[in-house]
């Protein structure tokens, strides 16, 4: 199925639209999932670093810091150097580069920056969380005041906060703040993100291709079915049209005095509806109604229909029944519903003196008002066995004279203007396709 772009631009098929929209959706989904996975990967890597520090360093550090030491800051140079030697031999490594010891009130017990030993800092964020008994970590840019002496280690470090608890004592006496180089963690995160991105992209691509294949197959099936439906509809409409043409021909053959009348009035009715700018459906209804307008004459006896002389009042009353007979014959055919107004009401008059229902003015369906003008024009100008047809000018004089009584004035004037244009131009063959 194809959609035409506004302004007559390039057409875009539904399959192409699906491909474009779904590609954008899958791309957005991929970006969103990748972002969420990246956050999860970073959190997992940091949690892993915390767990490693707990498993490998916490016990060693507690062994170097007796409970009593946490009551006083390591301002004594000898104690500080002894603690630093213990750190160098059992704790510090290429990855673990610094250790800071806090008491439970936020005072620095030990730091490689001796200027902050003994100072108290606000308890917040990860430090406060560790004082509460839960290990925590953050990636730090070393912007806080207590990290001023650690900025020589790089622009970014991983700070791990471990609660200080002693065996058989649940109380938290302080916190070990362990500084680890972030680069190894960052590399681990980047590598994991790269693998996740590759796998996620590949998975989404496969899913997209599978979905696209399913939709393309469905689209082709729909296209085939649509073509078959169009072909069937065309065949069915052709059958309808042949039936309509056959009925119209049957009337013309039976009433030889009006031979080819149906074809002529159909051509003019379609021309007038087109000139008025009616849509395709309305024009098709006019076309079929014009062809079948006299189909009810099939129900009129030959003695009346073929009578060479004037009809008696009784005979004329029978003849006036043909619109209702035609309407009754066709009303069960649903596709002819829009055309039945012409069949039933083409002999109504603007002033309400017509038949069969005596409708007046705009009570008469518009298509029947249009056809009444055309039908009268052909009746005046066509040759009959008992008289010659009148010239065009006289026919137009009669139609315009009777506008407002017999005919809708607007339709009469429109017909006059159309005929004036048609007669001013070279005549071209006009084939009517029902």
Q: Is the pLDDT of residue 426 over 60?
A: no
Residues 54, 184: one domain?
yes
Is the pTM value of this prediction over 0.85?
Answer: no
DSSP code of 308? S
And the tokens for 190?
């980047």
Please report how many Cα atoms fall inside a 13 Å half-sphere around the Cα of residue 365, on the Cβ side: 19
pLDDT in tens, 156-185: 788 899 999 998 889 999 999 988 887 777
pLDDT in tens, 213-253: 887 787 788 778 888 888 877 777 777 777 777 776 666 66
From its phi and psi, is residue 281 left (phi > 0), alpha (psi between -120 and 50) or beta? alpha
Q: Is residue 287 part of a domain?
A: yes
And the tokens for 127?
């430090």
- Higher pLDDT pick, 290 / 33: 290
Q: Is residue 113 part of a domain?
A: yes
CA distance 428 to 267: 12
Confidence of residue 257 (pLDDT cuts 50, 70, 90): low
Q: Is residue 39 part of a domain?
A: yes
Residues 257, 187: one domain?
no
Across 207-214, average pLDDT:
79
Q: Is residue 330 part of a domain?
A: yes
CB 260 within 8 A of CB 304: no
pLDDT of residue 258: 56
Residues 176, 246: one domain?
no
pLDDT of residue 12: 55
The enclosing domain of 119 has a CATH number of: 3.30.450.20
Q: Is 170 helix (H, G, I), strand (E, B) or coil?
A: strand
**248 contact partners, CB below 8 Å, separation of at least 6:** 262, 263, 291, 292, 295
The enclosing domain of 245 has a CATH number of: 1.10.3210.10
Residue for token pair 């007559």? 8
pLDDT of residue 150: 66
CA distance 351 to 354: 8
CA 393 to chain centre: 57
Residues 295, 419: one domain?
yes
Confidence of residue 334 (pLDDT cuts 50, 70, 90): confident
Across 89-104, average pLDDT:
87
In a 10 Å sphere around its CB, with 0-12 CB exposed, 13-18 middle and 19+ buried, how is residue 279 labelled? exposed
Residues 242, 177: one domain?
no
Residues 254, 384: one domain?
yes
CA distance 375 to 380: 9
Q: Is residue 335 part of a domain?
A: yes
Q: Is residue 176 part of a domain?
A: yes
DSSP code of 355? S
Where does 111-259 show beta strands of DSSP type E? 136-140, 157-166, 169-181
- CA distances 269 to 12, 312, 358, 378, 409, Å, are 38, 31, 23, 11, 16
And the tokens for 277?
């700018």
Residues 187, 275: one domain?
no
Last residue of a domain, one of 152, 173, 191: 191
pLDDT of residue 3: 45
Residue 29 has φ and ψ, to the nearest 5°, of -60, -40
Q: Is the pLDDT of residue 322 over 80?
A: yes
Closest CA to 339 of 320, 367, 361: 367
Cα angle 156-158-160, degrees, rounded to a multiple of 5:
150
Residue for token pair 């307008």? 293
Calculate the average pLDDT of the chain.
83
Question: Would strands 108-110 and 96-103 be described as parallel, antiparallel, or unpaired?
Answer: antiparallel
CB 394 within 8 A of CB 353: no
Residue for token pair 């076309």? 287
The DSSP bridge partners found for residue 136 are 161
User: In the chain, what percentage of residues exceed pLDDT 70?
Assistant: 87
Residues 242, 149: one domain?
no
Residues 110, 256: one domain?
no
Q: Is residue 71 part of a domain?
A: yes
Residue 110 has φ and ψ, to the nearest 5°, of -145, 145
Residues 405, 280: one domain?
yes
Residues 314, 166: one domain?
no
Range of the domain at 417: 238-424
CA distance 288 to 172: 97
Last residue of a domain, one of 154, 169, 191: 191
CA distance 152 to 146: 13
Domain count, the chain: 2
Q: Which of 14-28, 75-89, 339-353 has the lowest mean pLDDT?
A: 14-28
CA distance 286 to 373: 13
pLDDT in tens, 362-390: 999 999 999 999 999 999 998 776 678 89
And the tokens for 314?
């009784």
Q: Is residue 2 part of a domain?
A: no
């Amino acid at each position: 199925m194809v959609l035409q772009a506004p302004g007559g631009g390039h057409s875009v098929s539904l399959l192409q639209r699906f491909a474009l929209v779904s590609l954008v959706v899958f791309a957005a989904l991929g970006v969103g999932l990748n972002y969420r996975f990246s956050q999860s990967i970073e959190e997992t890597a940091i949690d892993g670093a915390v767990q490693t520090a707990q498993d490998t360093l916490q016990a060693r550090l507690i062994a170097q810091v007796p409970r009593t030491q946490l009551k006083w800051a390591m301002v004594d140079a000898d104690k500080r150097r002894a603690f630093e030697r213990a750190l160098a031999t059992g704790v510090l490594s290429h990855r673990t580069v610094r250790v800071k010891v806090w008491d439970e009130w936020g005072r620095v017990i030990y730091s490689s920056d001796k200027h902050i030993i003994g100072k108290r800092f606000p308890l917040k964020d990860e430090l406060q969380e560790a004082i509460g008994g839960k290990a925590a970590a953050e990636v730090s840019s070393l912007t806080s005041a207590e990290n001023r002496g650690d900025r020589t280690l790089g622009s970014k470090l991983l700070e791990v906060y471990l609660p200080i608890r002693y065996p058989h004592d649940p109380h938290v006496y302080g916190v070990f703040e362990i500084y680890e180089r972030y680069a190894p963690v960052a590399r681990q995160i980047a590598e994991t993100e790269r693998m996740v991105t590759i796998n996620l992209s590949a998975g989404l691509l496969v899913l997209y291709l599978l979905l696209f294949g399913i939709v393309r197959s469905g689209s082709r099936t729909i296209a085939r079915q649509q073509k078959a439906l169009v072909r069937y509809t065309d065949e069915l409409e052709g059958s309808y049209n042949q039936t309509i043409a056959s009925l119209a021909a049957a009337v013309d053959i039976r009433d030889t005095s009006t031979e080819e009348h149906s074809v002529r009035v159909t051509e003019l009715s379609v021309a007038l509806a087109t000139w008025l700018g009616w849509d395709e459906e309305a024009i098709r209804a006019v076309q079929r109604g014009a062809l079948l307008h006299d189909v009810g004459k099939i129900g009129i006896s030959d003695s009346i229909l073929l009578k060479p002389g004037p009809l008696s009042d009784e005979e004329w009353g029978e003849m006036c029944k043909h619109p209702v007979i035609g309407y009754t014959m066709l009303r069960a055919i649903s596709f002819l519903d829009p055309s039945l107004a012409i069949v039933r009401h083409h002999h109504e008059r603007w002033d309400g003196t017509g038949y069969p229902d005596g409708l007046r003015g705009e009570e008469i369906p518009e298509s029947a008002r249009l056809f009444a003008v055309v039908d009268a024009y052909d009746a005046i100008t066509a040759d009959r066995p008992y008289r010659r047809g009148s010239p065009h000018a006289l026919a137009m004089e009669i139609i315009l004279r009777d506008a407002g009584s017999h005919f809708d004035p607007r339709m009469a004037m429109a017909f006059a203007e159309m005929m004036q244009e048609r007669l001013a131009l070279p005549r071209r063959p006009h084939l009517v396709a029902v």
